C-alpha cells in the first residue's frame, strides 16, 4: 500500500511506481501469453485496474476507461499489440534473422493448421501477419557492435562545427558561407534531415559535390522509428553513399539540424548505447582511413537555409510514399469515442471524442494528491455521497442526513447542513464571474485551478467524505 485518497505520493509518482513495479511484470512475455484464455487476461486487467485506481486515488467503482484516460495508461490489449510491433521493429533493426524466421514459421502454421484456426494467436504472430516487416519501407538498420571497432578508431573525436546562428536569415547564410570558405574547395556538402509526422517517419539527404550534379536520396522508415533515429539514419545513409561512391579522398561536410544527434556523436563511443551512432562514428573513421575527411556541422532548422529547407521537404515526402499505419493512439481514440458515446457518465459528456490529458498533468504545478483525487471523484461522480453508495449497495438509503436526495450537487449547493460554506463558495464563484445557475458538471467542464481549489476548500471545511 503506497497511497490512498488523501495520503501517499503524488499521482504522477504513483503511476511511475506502477509502470516500474507492476506494468513491467505484466509486460514480460506478454506478446506470447497474450493468446491465453480471456478469463486469465481479465485477471491481469483487474490487477492493472486496481493499481491504477489506487494510484489516482479514485473509487473502485470508477469506470475502467476513465481510469485509463486519467492515468495516461492504455488497456493491456493495446499495450500487447504495441509491444509486439516494437519487437518486430527491433528484430528488423538488428537484422535478427533467426527470430524473424521463427515468426514467419509461426505465421505459416497459424494460417494452415486446424488447431490454430480455432485459437487466439499470440499478439506477436498476429501483428506479424497483419504487418510483415518487409512492409516497413526501405529500412535497413546497421548492426555494428562495440567489439567490432578498433579502440583507437573510437577514441579520437569527430570534427564538428557549431556556428553561431541568429534569427536573421542573411546573417545565417553569411555564417554558413564563412564556414564553407574555411574548408577546402573540393568539399562535398551533404544536408541531412529526418521527419516524423502522424503518418510515419522518413529521412533524406541531399549531397552537393562541387563538380558533379547533386544527389538526392530519401527513405521511408518504420512508423515506430523516433525522430532521433530518423535524423541519425539520414546521416548514416549519407555516409554509406560516400563509402560506396568509390571516390577515395576529398572532404565531406555533413550538415544536420539535429543537435541531439550531433551531441550524441561527440559522446565517448564506449558509452554509446545507440548502435546507429556508433556506426556513424565507425563509418566516418573508415572513410578517414581511405583519405576522406568527414566533418559535421549544425545548421539551424527552419531558418530559411536553402539546403536544409530542401532536405526537410524531401524527408517529409519520404513519409507519404507509404500507407498510413493504424497507430496505437488512433486505436485508443476509437475505443474511447465508442465508449464515450455509450456511457452515461457525466465525464464522457465533457470529453466525448478524444481522451483528455490526465488531470495530474494539467495540475503539474500544483501537485496535491487529495485535491486531484477529490476532483477526479467529483468529475466522474463516483464519490462517497449517499446516492452513489446506495447504488453500490453500501448504504440502505440514497437520502442525505437532511432528508433530501444526497447527490453531489445537493451536498455542495443545497444541503442546509453545509449552508455557511455553500454561501462562501457561491461568493467566491460570483467573484470569479461564473454564470449562475451553475452545477458541478458546469464547474468542472473546463479545467480551472481556481475553481478546483474553491471546491476542495469546501470539501475540507465541511468535512464531507468524497
Ligand atoms: Zn443534505
Are residue 278 and residue 181 in the same domain, yes or no?
yes
Considering Cα of 425, then 428, then 432, then 436, what sign does the dihedral take?
A: positive
Question: DSSP H helical segments within 113-214, as ranges?
Answer: 114-117, 123-130, 151-155, 169-182
Whether 358 maps to a domain, the answer reads: no
The band of 15, judged by pLDDT with boundaries at 50, 70 and 90, is very high
Single out the residue of 178, 153, 156 nearest to residue 165, CA to CA: 178
Same domain, 288 and 152: yes
| 193 burial level (CB within 10 Å; 0-12, 13-18, 19+) | buried
How far is ligand 1, taken at its centre, from the CA of residue 434, in Å?
A: 24
Give the Å distance between the CA of 423 and the centre of ligand 1. 15
- Residue 384 CA, ligand 1 centroid: distance in Å: 14
* Whether residue 291 is found in the same domain as residue 400: no
**What does the pLDDT read at residue 153?**
63
Q: Tell me if 22 is assigned to some domain.
A: yes
Distance 145 CA to ligand 1 centre (A): 70
pLDDT number for residue 323: 32
How much is the pLDDT for 150?
Answer: 63
CA of 165 from ligand 1 middle (Å) equals 66
Task: Flag whether pLDDT at 416 surpasses 80.
Answer: yes
Ligand 1 centre distance from Cα of residue 70 (Å):
30
- Final residue before a domain boundary, out of 131, 159, 177: 131
List, as one string, the DSSP characters of 214-261: -EEEEEEE-TT--HHHHHHHHHHHHHHHHHHT---SSEEEEEES-HHH
CA of 407 to the centre of ligand 1 (A): 9
- Give me ligand 1 centre to Cα 375, in Å: 20
271 and 189 share one domain:
yes
Q: What is the pLDDT of residue 398?
A: 93
Which percentage of the chain shows pLDDT scores above 70? Answer: 90
Looking at the structure, do residues 275 and 192 belong to the same domain, yes or no?
Answer: yes
Tell me the per-residue pLDDT of 312-360, one tens digit each, with 9 for 90 and over. Answer: 888 887 776 533 334 677 788 889 999 999 998 889 988 888 888 888 8
Residue 166 shares a structural domain with residue 86 = no
More confident residue, 128 or 235: 235
Q: What is the CATH number of the domain that holds 178?
A: 3.30.420.10
The residue out of 74, 98, 131 marking a domain boundary is 131
In a domain, 341, yes or no: no
Give CA–CA dist 352/374, Å, rounded.
22
Asked whether residue 285 is assigned to any structural domain, the reply reads yes
For ligand 1, the distance from its centroid to the CA atom of residue 386, given in whole angstroms, is 9
Ligand 1 centroid vs 413 CA: distance in angstroms? Answer: 9
In a domain, 315, yes or no: yes
Choose between 423 and 127: higher pLDDT.
423
How far does the centroid of ligand 1 lie from the alpha carbon of residue 402, in Å?
4
In the structure grid, which three cell numbers stand for residue 434, read together?
461564473
Which residue in the block uniquely carries the three cell numbers 498510413?
A: 324
Specify the higher pLDDT residue, 101 or 263. Answer: 263
Same domain, 297 and 233: yes
Q: Higher-confidence residue: 156 or 290?
A: 290
Q: What is the pLDDT of residue 53?
A: 95
User: Does 453 have pLDDT greater than 60?
Assistant: yes
Q: Of 131, 163, 191, which marks where a domain is finished?
A: 131
Rounded average pLDDT over 120-143 = 67
Query: DSSP letters of 399-457?
Result: B-TTSSB--HHIIIII-GGGHHHHHHHHHHHHHTT--SS--HHHHHSS--HHHHHHHHH
Q: Specify which of 30-44, 93-107, 203-217 reaches the highest per-range mean pLDDT.
A: 30-44
pLDDT of residue 148: 57
Cα(400) to centroid of ligand 1, in Å? Answer: 5
Q: What is the mean pLDDT of residues 76-93?
A: 81
> Same domain for 194 and 52?
no
127 and 150, same domain (yes or no): no
Residue 311 to residue 167: CA distance in whole angstroms: 20
Question: Residue 21 belongs to what domain range?
Answer: 11-131
Q: Is 335 helix (H, G, I), strand (E, B) or coil?
A: helix
Q: Residue 354 falls within a domain, yes or no?
A: no
**166 falls within a domain:** yes
Say whether both 152 and 277 belong to one domain: yes
CA distance 338 to 57: 26
Per-residue model confidence (pLDDT) at position 45: 95
| Percent of the chain's residues with pLDDT above 90 | 29
Which pLDDT value is given to residue 382? Answer: 93
pTM of the predicted structure, to 2 decimals: 0.64
Of 45, 50, 74, 73, nearest to 1 (Cα)?
50
Compute the chain's Rg from CA coordinates: 29
Distance from residue 56's CA to the centre of ligand 1 (Å): 28
Same domain, 117 and 35: yes
Q: What is the pLDDT of residues 197-237, one digit of tens each?
A: 877 788 888 888 877 778 888 887 777 788 898 899 899 98
Q: Is residue 26 in a domain?
A: yes
**pLDDT for the residue numbered 137:** 47
Distance 417 CA to ligand 1 centre (A): 6
| CA–centroid distance, residue 390 to ligand 1 (Å) | 15
pLDDT tier at 459 (50, 70, 90 boundaries)? very high
The pLDDT value given to residue 16: 92
pLDDT at residue 28 is higher than 90: yes
pLDDT tens per residue, range 264-301: 888 877 777 777 888 888 888 888 888 888 889 888 88
Average pLDDT, the chain: 83
- Into how many domains does the chain fold? 3
Q: Distance between CA atoms of 203 and 223, rounded to whole angstroms?
A: 12
Residues 97 and 127 in one domain: yes
pLDDT at 96: 67
Highest average pLDDT, of 79-88, 329-338, 420-429, comes from 420-429
In this predicted structure, what is the pLDDT of residue 372?
A: 92
β-strands 293-298, 200-208: how paired?
Answer: unpaired
**Are residues 102 and 83 in contact, defined by beta-carbon separation less than 8 angstroms?**
no
pLDDT score for 421: 92
Amino acid at each position: 500500500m503506497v497511497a490512498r485518497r488523501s495520503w501517499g505520493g503524488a499521482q504522477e509518482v504513483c503511476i511511475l511506481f506502477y509502470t516500474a513495479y507492476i506494468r513491467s511484470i505484466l509486460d514480460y512475455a506478454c506478446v506470447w501469453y497474450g493468446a491465453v484464455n480471456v478469463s486469465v487476461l481479465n485477471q491481469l486487467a483487474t490487477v492493472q485496474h486496481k493499481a491504477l485506481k489506487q494510484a489516482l486515488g479514485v473509487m473502485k467503482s470508477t469506470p475502467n476507461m476513465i481510469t485509463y484516460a486519467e492515468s495516461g495508461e492504455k488497456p493491456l490489449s493495446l499495450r500487447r499489440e504495441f509491444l509486439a510491433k516494437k519487437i518486430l521493429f527491433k528484430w528488423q533493426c538488428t537484422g535478427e534473422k533467426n527470430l524473424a524466421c521463427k515468426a514467419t514459421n509461426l505465421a505459416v502454421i497459424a494460417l494452415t493448421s486446424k488447431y490454430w484456426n480455432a485459437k487466439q494467436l499470440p499478439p506477436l504472430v498476429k501483428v506479424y501477419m497483419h504487418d510483415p516487416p518487409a512492409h516497413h519501407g526501405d529500412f535497413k538498420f546497421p548492426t555494428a557492435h562495440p567489439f567490432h571497432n578498433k579502440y583507437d578508431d573510437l577514441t579520437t573525436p569527430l570534427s564538428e562545427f557549431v556556428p553561431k546562428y541568429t534569427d536573421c536569415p542573411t546573417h545565417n547564410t553569411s555564417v554558413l558561407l564563412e564556414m564553407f570558405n574555411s574548408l577546402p574547395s573540393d568539399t562535398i556538402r551533404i544536408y541531412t534531415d529526418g521527419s516524423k509526422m502522424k503518418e510515419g517517419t522518413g529521412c533524406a539527404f541531399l549531397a552537393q559535390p562541387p563538380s558533379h550534379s547533386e544527389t538526392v536520396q530519401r527513405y521511408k522508415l518504420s512508423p515506430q522509428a523516433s525522430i532521433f533515429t530518423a535524423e541519425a539514419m539520414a546521416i548514416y545513409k549519407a555516409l554509406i553513399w560516400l563509402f560506396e561512391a568509390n571516390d577515395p579522398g576529398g572532404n565531406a561536410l555533413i550538415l544536420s539540424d539535429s543537435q541531439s544527434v550531433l551531441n550524441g556523436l561527440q559522446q565517448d563511443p564506449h558509452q554509446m548505447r545507440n548502435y546507429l551512432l556508433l556506426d556513424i562514428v565507425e563509418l566516418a573513421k573508415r572513410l578517414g582511413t581511405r583519405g576522406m575527411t568527414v566533418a559535421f556541422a549544425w545548421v539551424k532548422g527552419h531558418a530559411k537555409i536553402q539546403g536544409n529547407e530542401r532536405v526537410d521537404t524531401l524527408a517529409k515526402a519520404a513519409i507519404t510514399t507509404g500507407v498510413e499505419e493504424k497507430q496505437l493512439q488512433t486505436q485508443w481514440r476509437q475505443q474511447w469515442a465508442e465508449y464515450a458515446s455509450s456511457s452515461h457518465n457525466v465525464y464522457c459528456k465533457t470529453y466525448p471524442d478524444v481522451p483528455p490529458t490526465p488531470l495530474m498533468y494539467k495540475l503539474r504545478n500544483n501537485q496535491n494528491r487529495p485535491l486531484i483525487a477529490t476532483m477526479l471523484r467529483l468529475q466522474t461522480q463516483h464519490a462517497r455521497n449517499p446516492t452513489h453508495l446506495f447504488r453500490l449497495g453500501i448504504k440502505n438509503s440514497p437520502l442525505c442526513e437532511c432528508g433530501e436526495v444526497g447527490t453531489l450537487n445537493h451536498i455542495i449547493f443545497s444541503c442546509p447542513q453545509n449552508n455557511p460554506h455553500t454561501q462562501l463558495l457561491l461568493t467566491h464563484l460570483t467573484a470569479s464571474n461564473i454564470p449562475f445557475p451553475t452545477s458541478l458538471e458546469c464547474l468542472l467542464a473546463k479545467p480551472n485551478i481556481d475553481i478546483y481549489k474553491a471546491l476542495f476548500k469546501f470539501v475540507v471545511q465541511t468535512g464531507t467524505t468524497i
